[in-house]
């Protein structure tokens, strides 16, 4: 998958298809798109390994920052905390609307 296609899919709020990323060893990891979140005006995505979701894991979200040329895992604990706080807020609001 070209990076342009990946970024377009991640930034499309209607697209919830899986995406394939590669780990540090070059192994393909199928990821489910869980949320697109803006923090400080910057786009972030929360992805979860499909394999873990299929096993019933619920605490497997990974935060990635979206760049023009791809995504990179968030390694700043403060930003990661903001991302997950915003996710929790949005999730809670969604539950109230149901």
Per-residue pLDDT tens over the stretch 18-51: 999 988 899 999 999 999 999 999 999 999 999 9
Q: Residue 44: exposed, middle, or buried by beta-carbon count in 10 A (0-12, 13-18, 19+)?
A: buried
Q: What is the CA radius of gyration of the chain?
A: 13
Q: Going by C-beta distance under 8 Å and a sequence separation of 6 or more, which residues neighbour residue 38?
A: 44, 86
Ordered by start, the domain boundaries in the chain are: 3-97
What distance in Å separates the CA atoms of residue 31 and residue 24, rounded to the nearest whole number? 15
pTM recorded for the entire structure: 0.82
What distance in Å separates the CA atoms of residue 3 and residue 37, rounded to the nearest whole number? 19
């Amino acid at each position: 998958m070209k990076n342009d296609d990946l970024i377009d899919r991640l930034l499309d709020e209607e697209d919830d298809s899986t995406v394939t990323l590669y780990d540090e060893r070059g192994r393909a990891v199928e990821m489910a798109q869980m949320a697109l979140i803006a923090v400080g005006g910057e786009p972030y995505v929360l992805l979860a390994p499909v394999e873990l979701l299929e096993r019933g894991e619920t605490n497997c979200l990974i935060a990635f920052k979206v760049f023009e040329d791809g995504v990179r895992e968030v390694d700043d604990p403060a930003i990661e905390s903001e991302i997950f706080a915003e996710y929790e807020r949005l999730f809670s609001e969604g539950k109230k609307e149901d």
